[in-house]
Amino acid sequence: MTIHFVNLVSWSYFVEKDLNDSILFADSISFCLVARLLGINLKQISGVSSAKKICEKKSTGYLLSEEKPISNSFILPFWKDINEISLDNELLKFISKYENIVISISSPKQDKLAMLINKTKLNKNIFCLGAAVTVNKSISYFEYFNLMWLGFLFINPIRTCKKIFLTIHAVISILTNYDNKSNFISVAKKINSNTYF
């Protein structure tokens, strides 16, 4: 089973994907607002607010983009393109040791990796958490006000500005393009509003 936290940067990855082994949550307030504009009421369940509960689970292995002070971790190669993502024997050996796998790379790369792991039939619980795994405690209070983007802006302004730009672009694209709007509605209808944790 894979838990995906979907935002406006990554939503299009889920169009026409087999989601039988997946649960989708709306990760951002912007996703919920666009859905509401299109007549769908969703509850936001962000990766940041869920990360602590997930990371407290026993037998958890972490797939990271870079070296961090997290035990039970595996540093993934840098995949420039989503089509480069693959599973090698070393990665599969690491994954096989744990009941729960947390992926902490950017979306939609983490979502593609999770789906590849699911196809191995290793029966793991996979959580796509991105940057939520390593949120600085000094900015975590922003989550209470649905302003986590502001906290990320303080600690990583370049990456956050890029993500804000991509989010604005996605909003415009969804609201002005019929196919994108139709696809977004299809994905939004698959969002789960019941807490998994």
pLDDT along the chain (197 residues), means of 10: 93 93 92 96 86 86 90 93 94 96 93 94 91 62 61 70 90 97 97 76
Domain boundaries, the chain: 2-188
Check residue 163 and give its pLDDT.
84
Residues 74/62, Cβ–Cβ less than 8 Å: yes
The residue behind tokens 């962000």 is: 46
Residue 156, φ and ψ in degrees, nearest 5: -150, 75
The Cβ of residue 71 has, within 10 Å, a number of other Cβ atoms equal to 7
The residue behind tokens 């997946």 is: 22
Check residue 159 and give its pLDDT.
74
Q: What is the pTM of this model?
A: 0.85
Check residue 154 and give its pLDDT.
67
Query: How many alpha carbons lie under 13 Å from residue 36 in its C-beta half-sphere?
Result: 11
Check residue 157 and give its pLDDT.
76
